Structure 1
Amino acid sequence: MTRSTLPYHALHVLVAVADRGSIRAAARHIGRSESAVSHLLKDLERRLGRTLLERKGRGIELTPLALRYVSRLREPFHHIDQATTEFVAEPLPQHVVLTLPPALATLWLVPAITDFEQSLPEVELRLVTTNRTLDLYRDGIDLAIRYRADGRSGGQAMLTLPEYAFPVCAPSLAERLRLQPSALGEMRRLINDAHYEEWSLWQRTLDEPVVLSAWTERLADSTLTLEAAAQGYALAMGRTPLVNGLLTSGRLSAPLGTHYPTGAIYEVVFNERSARSEACRRVTDWIGQQFALSSRTGETSTSIPSS
């Protein structure tokens, strides 16, 4: 006989009958009918091949063998009850649904997810990555991080983060620029199709013009562009906060400085029904801390090498 062949509920009924003294009292205690209790006990007797109950006058009593069996069952049942009580008492993880652009999720949020889990272990963050502007109420979204190219907030912003854009490259290329500033006019540049005018827009922010190479290649999005740059393939435009993790890790350098605002912003907006929840508030606070760290990248500046 293996424990897998004995139904838990039948053993529970047997203990209840022993504790309550009758089938009727046991049935009332566990919320089952008397016939159901009797059926379970008969099935248990059949499985065990032993008699568990015997009639005494108008009532029933457990056989001596059954009493010894029950005495051994009480302790594990007590442990099960105690474990169940503790399990049910544990607060359920609170979940927050966050939507954000795929590139922001890949390059900014995912590298910080370990910090999130350590800071908010009781919160389950569910991500919806899309470049579409979702309806927070219809789509069941608690928070959204949205990109505003024109810098205009949608009106419900809880947090905003200004974007900066600046040339980045692998450390080996940055060292070459340091030793030979004129190499800027010779290096291959990557054009990000998601921001195809970013090089010319960056040039307009400069006090003095610089010569850029006409040798360019186009890539589909920021994730591909920055990874290619980190591999030493070419120069790229890094945009905060997407590039921050690669700068922090040392895979990319910003040899020409970082203090070049684009006028665009990221903003955090919320579903008003969700904003009152403690979990939503704590996630927003955490995002604010990450935004504060990200904004420091745009506060540094270095001189542009003269050709």
Structure 2
Amino acid sequence: MPLNVVFMGTPDFAVPSLAEIVANGHNVVRVYTQPPRKSGRGQKLTKSPVHQFAEIMGLPVETPESFRKSAVIDGLEALNADVACVVAYGQILPQRALDAPTEGCLNLHGSLLPRWRGAAPIQRAIMAGDAQTGVQIMQMAKGLDTGDVLLSETLDIFPHDTAQSLSDRMAQIGAGMWPRILGAVERGAIRPVPQDGEPTYAHKIDKAEARIDWSRPASALDCHIRGLAPFPGAWCEIDGARVKVHMAIAEHGSGRPGEVLDEGLLVACGDSALRLTKVQPAGKPVMTTEAFLHGSPVAKGTVLL
């Protein structure tokens, strides 16, 4: 028998999950997502990706500014939902909201808990140089990502993975986990497993972190760059202009940190060197370093800041 499901999510990452839940015949009684925000050069109010998809599917949508208002939770309780499925919603749910659906709220999280609890688990895993991560569905509880794990899939982090590519894989794998866990809810076969181990925290990315510190080892900067690609994007200054670096390759080389070692943007780091392969000048699209250098040559010996 199909479940009455509330879905809470906002970005592109959440759309495959909503699509999979609908495709499996569950009755999505309400979609909650973040309110439209200003975006783009014209600062036009834009609905979230989940909002847009929900409207295409004819699903009822609500966009409360805060779930801490009693009237919002009253509306959630009135739905008499069996379960809430939460994917990158972007709001903290108070206990009364967590308790509103009969089976509570289930959250799709992009790490192997308790490692990388918090707002930026995908970016932090790459930035830390982790070889593996995962996608888990957990029972939401009071506290930051502290609930019992209900279902888990492990993923390798490949040497070429960026935050975007890893997020895309997680979104698809995570979407495929919902039919299994909702089937278990229907059968009363949920088997919660408490988190085990020392927690680490994936704090929200601070824009100040994005500046490249060339005194760090090349291997660490490679992870740093990929973990911040495409947003907010690691950056440096080249001849006084800010340039984002979206991809680089570690190579042999030595020099003053930030020094350009050849005509192809091989840059000395604290240990070894990085060849920048994809960059983005301010106000322009991502491009190959070859294309960038064609219009803005960077001389050997230049020091990037």
Tell me which interval the TM-score lies in, with the shorter structure as reference length.
Answer: under 0.3
Larger radius of gyration: 1
Judging by fraction of residues, say which structure has more strand: 2
Normalising by structure 2, we get a TM-score of 0.21
Judging by fraction of residues, say which structure has more helix: 1
Greater RCO (Cα-Cα under 8 Å, separation 6 or more): 1
Normalising by structure 1, we get a TM-score of 0.21
